[in-house]
Structure 1
Amino acid sequence: MNAPADPRNDPNETLLDRAILGLNRGFVLLAAIALLLMMLHVTAEVVARATGWVTLIGTLEIVSYYYMILLVMLPMGFVELKHEHIRVDLFVQMMPARMQFVLYLLSCVMCIVFFAMMFRQSLLDAWNSMQRKETIMSNFIFYIWPSRWALPIGFFGLLLASACNLLKSFRHRKAL
């Protein structure tokens, strides 16, 4: 007897599924570039200090307000699509398949609502930060408003990923 197809590796995925996956892969690529830049930047800072050169101004601020935020926020949608977020489903595993399916759909709907609210609020915050040209206190003028846009982008990716998982689960009539 053939095993049922795994809906997470669906050969019949829709164009929308592929578009959302492609968008989130692009976000992962941007996060990977930020990681490489951070590694180069911090390495250059360490080498500069070790050789007696002056320190690279703004390393701490750039790492804290740009690289780290990009690393955390951008890949979250991809992680959701791959079902790699932490799950606590000890009791759910013991439930009948139909109940697992219903609970999964409910959790997807709750995620969509939550991430839509987070997307909206972070978008408003990023817009306001940009309008004010938000800075932080430092030895120089350091603009942080551009990094505020990573949050709505990340939440948008999560919102789309949650919607994609909901539709995929509904299409297969089983929890993913």
Structure 2
Amino acid sequence: MIAKYVESLSQWVAKSAMVLATLFLVLMALHVSLDVGLRYLFGKSFTGTLEFVSFYYMVAVVFLPLAYVELQREHISVDVLVGRLPPIAQLTLYLFASTLGLLYFGMLCYQSYLDAVRATVRMETAMANFTFYLWPSRWALPVGFAAMCLAILANMIKALQQRQAL
């Protein structure tokens, strides 16, 4: 019962984050294309294109899809040695590595959450020709890392149910 709930929640969160990342990718492409077109045709460009691309679009495109990639088991893995071990050893190593992943991404989530709260309270800005707020982009990291933790947990449960490493 809980396993199905964790898996469906993880799928929903990962797909939602992936949709958001895709939206930011499309916005980035349109923003940059329009900026280049305006500069080429009229010699003018949008103010803040570099800031928006660097601090909003790229951050979202990198961190939000982490969970989706994990659920698809598309992260880079090298299992030359582990593939030759018996299935129980493979499962044990998989669960050990997943536990380390949970700890690692959990710590990243916690620290990035604290940083996002601090940036929000301070209304963090970047140096630019205009007031450019950085604090909203800080929230992509804890969201992406939390979704990654949920995806790792869902994959661990699935591996235990199937009694084999994923």
Which residue type is aligned with residue 83 of structure 2?
Answer: Q
Tell me which residue corresponds to 1:158.
148
User: Following the alignment from structure 2 to structure 1, what is the Cα–Cα distance between the partners of residues 10 and 70?
Assistant: 11
1:147 equivalent in alignment to 2:137 = yes
**Deviation readout 1:31-80 (Å, 9 max, x if unpaired):** 01001111110111011001124210000000000000000000000100
1:48 equivalent in alignment to 2:69 = no
User: Following the alignment from structure 2 to structure 1, what is the Cα–Cα distance between the partners of residues 133 and 98?
Assistant: 36
User: Following the alignment from structure 1 to structure 2, what is the Cα–Cα distance between the partners of residues 84 and 32?
Assistant: 17
**Which of the two has greater helix per residue?**
2
Tell me which residue corresponds to 1:73.
63
Gaps of 5+ in 2: none
Sequence identity percentage: 41
Gaps of 5+ in 1: 1-12
Normalization by structure 1: what TM-score?
A: 0.91
Give the ranges of 4+ consecutive aligned residues of structure 1 lying more than 3 Å apart after TM superposition: none
Aligned ranges 1:1-150 → 2 under 5 Å: 14-150=4-140
User: Following the alignment from structure 2 to structure 1, what is the Cα–Cα distance between the partners of residues 5 and 138?
Assistant: 30
